[in-house]
Amino acid sequence: MHRDWQWYLGDHHSSQYSSLKQINTDNVMQLEQVWLYESEGKEQIQCNPIIVDGVLFGISAKRSVFALNAETGEEVWTFTPEKSMGSTGVVRGVQYWESGKDQRIYVVLGTYIYALNAQDGTLVDSFGEDGVVNIRNAYDRDVNKLHIGSSTPGVIYKNNLIISVRTAEAHPAAPGDILAFNVRTGERKWVFHTIPRPGEFGYDTWPSEAWKTTGGANCWAGMSLDAKRGIVYIPTGAATFDFFGGDRKGDNLFANTLLALNAETGERIWHYQITHHDLWDRDNPAPPNLLTVNHGGKKIDAVAQITKSGHVFLFNRETGEPLFDIEEQLVPESTIAGEHASKTQPVPVKPPPFARQAFTGDLVTERTEEAHAAMLERLRRSITGHPFHPPSLDGTVIFPGFDGGGEWGGAAVDPDSSVLYVNSSEMPWILTLFEIPKSAGAGNSSLGRFVYAQNCVYCHGPDLKGNPIQEFPPLLDVKTKYKPDDMKAIIRAGKERMPAFEFLNDKQVDAVVDFVYELDASNAVNIPVPESETPDEDRWYTTTGYNRFLDAEGYPAVKPPWGTLNAIDMNKGEILWKIVLGENPELADETYRLGGTENYGGPMVTAGGLVFIAATKDQLIRAFDKVSGKELWRAPLPAAGFATPATYKVNGRQYIVIAAAGGKIGKDAGNAYVAFALPE
């Protein structure tokens, strides 16, 4: 007899919950590693695998799909597509569908949807063209040279395979349309335009021509499904450009919105915009949790959305009515010429935020006297103290940071108690804008400088030093690694996390490669272009990159906790407990050694009374008592487990499995999946 983890994150409700209880609070300390599967390559793996009838389906470090015997970890089959995928980015899971003996795995790799026979990993010829659908062909707008991918596997409702896409976060970018395909044939069934067109609801929240050129407003985090009601819940992210909206005046529906759509037709049922006119990359970062709460003396089916800012928004699942009050709070105005920041932002009254909201002087690190003095001085030169200070030329502190608060690992919900478990990172970041021209000047050098500033600087930096913690490589030594023609090929096709810049013409690619190859550390810092004398509305800005606010030794500029795990009673809107998550064993001071770490990947809760989570830099997986938050078990992993665990039962034995491949925040990349069980 098998008990499966058949859907991404456990079920259609994204509950990250299992009713299995063989492993429980009395015996969890006996857990031991029972198998380890090493996939091909070495690259971060963020996959939450699915398990169906004793077979585990997952994604390898090199973005192949594989099937394992879930009892032994032995490989059954692996699939690597022949089509060039370009840059796939991370792929967090696959989708399973069956009808009688027709059993399939669906996965999105690059711009393609693949339908695989679940038995042997071969392509299902009847789907699309020989088992493959090109997502770009399903758009109502020409996106053939724009980056499209997908982090999450979507959902299947009846015969609809509903997917969302990952887009570029700077111009030009594809729009984040929600697309449904016939699960058998691959034919497009419906589309929902997240950047509304003339005559569509929300069109008046954008400039009149935005639907033709603006991108983003996409769902990269994943969706949840109420199959009984036929409603799919879709959390969207920011519109492009993430940090300057001078060309997208208005609230920008349906960016940064929780959407409830008819899963059969794609029609909007209700929506709630969680951030107006986003300037902070405040994407809704995880699939919403569907749960039932006791509210006002009644049981109400609800949907909860966690945010990067550390809030939880709770709505009636059918109507979209907030179950706790949400205040539209006045927020600071932008100081950037041409920007049109929203005057207010919605903030829930309950539950209280599960992350600190403002980085002020009293929170500056005291890890060492030198770190305290340096970080306090840097803080005084920055704009800080409010979670909605808009981006600035002087540097605005984003706290919690671009990666949460809550992140893509999502939250787990215990359906019996309606307690939501969510981990949080508490890392300040500094967002600094600089002005660039809207068009290139004369000469190849000027063109190369312009292309770099428009497309490359926020990853590789104005000094070409990149950002190793953010996994953006430096370019100062690129000429020693690649010949110019090889570098041009990478720019056109993409590589690993780097998207393909297919929209650049040959002259632009030649110019930016020449520009980078001519620079070195002594002259690269002059890339930012000084402010122009042009009218406000014609100015354009980009950012110096995704920069964590770190001291000289690479530790957060803020006092601990740097990572937490939180239990929130969604009936009452109260935090039940908060514990520090993660350790820094190299530090001597106990406050900082036990102060938590940034964390990626989410928790799983079980009927055995346990919350399992890896996620931390210290390369451990832990189990906590879900009632008290007390740690009951920990085990080392071969690499950091930046993923969400799964659990299942095969032949009477319950297993816990986690992808452990590091590859983020300075941790070495690996390639493993690790399974634990009680001794036989």
Rounded to an integer, the average pLDDT of 58-85 is 92
Contact indicator for 44, 470 with CB cutoff of 8 Å: no
- Token couple for 617: 């830099």
Rounded to an integer, the average pLDDT of 109-135 is 96
Q: Residue 470's pLDDT is what?
A: 67
Q: Residue 227's pLDDT is what?
A: 98
- Token couple for 447: 């063109």
- Token couple for 157: 């409702």
Contacts 24+ apart (CB under 8 A), 55-60: 55/118, 56/648, 56/657, 56/673, 57/94, 57/96, 57/105, 57/118, 58/94, 58/659, 58/673, 59/91, 59/92, 59/93, 59/94, 59/107, 60/671
pLDDT in tens, 142-186: 999 999 999 999 999 999 999 999 999 989 999 999 999 999 999
pLDDT in tens, 194-209: 999 999 999 999 999 9
Helix (H) or strand (E) holding 412, with range, is: strand 411-414
The residue among 85, 220, 227 whose CA lies nearest residue 163 is 220
pLDDT in tens, 625-668: 999 999 999 999 999 999 999 999 999 999 999 999 999 999 99
CA distance 418 to 404: 23
pLDDT in tens, 213-222: 999 999 999 9
CA distance 417 to 626: 11
Q: Residue 530's pLDDT is what?
A: 44
CA distance 399 to 393: 17
- For the chain, percent of residues with pLDDT exceeding 90: 81
- Token couple for 165: 């896409």
Identify the structural domains of the chain with CATH numbers, from first to last. 1-81+564-680 (no CATH), 438-528 (1.10.760.10)
The residue among 644, 613, 606 whose CA lies nearest residue 627 is 606
Q: Residue 532's pLDDT is what?
A: 46
Give the per-residue SS3 of 62-77: CCCEEEEECCCCCEEE
The helix/strand/coil state of 499 is: coil
The residue among 77, 78, 182, 164 whose CA lies nearest residue 127 is 182
Q: What are phi and psi of 491, to 5 degrees?
A: -60, -40
pLDDT in tens, 323-356: 999 999 999 999 999 999 999 999 999 999 999 9
Contact indicator for 500, 87 with CB cutoff of 8 Å: yes
The residue among 184, 186, 206, 189 whose CA lies nearest residue 99 is 184
The helix/strand/coil state of 363 is: helix
Residue 501, exposed/middle/buried by CB under 10 A (0-12, 13-18, 19+)? buried
CA distance 227 to 234: 14
Q: Is residue 11's pLDDT more than 70?
A: yes
pLDDT in tens, 245-260: 999 999 999 999 999 9
pLDDT in tens, 489-543: 888 888 777 888 988 999 888 888 888 888 655 555 455 544 444 445 567 899 9
CA distance 620 to 601: 12
CA distance 578 to 333: 33
Q: Residue 83's pLDDT is what?
A: 65
Rounded to an integer, the average pLDDT of 389-411 is 96
Q: Residue 523's pLDDT is what?
A: 57
Cα dihedral angle (268, 269, 273, 274), rounded to 10 degrees?
-130
Answer whether the bond into residue 499 is a cis peptide, omega within 30°: no
Helix (H) or strand (E) holding 414, with range, is: strand 411-414
What would the DSSP string read from start to end of 78-122? EE--SS-----------EEEEETTEEEEEEEETTEEEEEETTT--
Binning pLDDT at 50, 70 and 90, where does residue 85 land? low
Residue 170: CA count within 13 A, CB half-sphere: 18
pLDDT in tens, 415-443: 999 999 999 999 999 999 988 876 766 66
Distance spanning both ends of the chain, measured CA to CA: 17
Contact indicator for 25, 661 with CB cutoff of 8 Å: no
- Token couple for 184: 């058998």
pLDDT in tens, 270-297: 999 999 999 999 999 999 999 999 998 9
- Token couple for 200: 């569509």
Q: Residue 493's pLDDT is what?
A: 84
Q: Is residue 613's pLDDT more than 90?
A: yes
Q: Which string of b and e fits 570-593 if b means at least 16 CB within 10 Å?
A: bbebebbbbbbbbbbeeeeeeebe
CA distance 198 to 201: 9
Place of tokens 């981006």: 391
- How high is the mean pLDDT of the chain? 93
- For the chain, percent of residues with pLDDT exceeding 70: 94
- Token couple for 123: 């392509």
Rounded to an integer, the average pLDDT of 44-52 is 97
Contact indicator for 307, 405 with CB cutoff of 8 Å: yes
Answer whether the bond into residue 405 is a cis peptide, omega within 30°: yes
Q: Residue 522's pLDDT is what?
A: 56
CA distance 407 to 39: 25
Q: Residue 476's pLDDT is what?
A: 80
What would the DSSP string read from start to end of 587-655? -SSHHHHTS---B-S--EEETTSEEEE--BTT-EEEEEETTT--EEEEEE-SS---S--EEEEETTEEE
Alpha helices (H) in 334-420, listed in sequence order: 369-380
> If you ran DSSP here, which 8-state letter would residue 455 be given?
H
Q: How many helices (H) and strands (E) does the chain have?
A: 8, 42
CA distance 564 to 387: 19
CA distance 283 to 570: 22
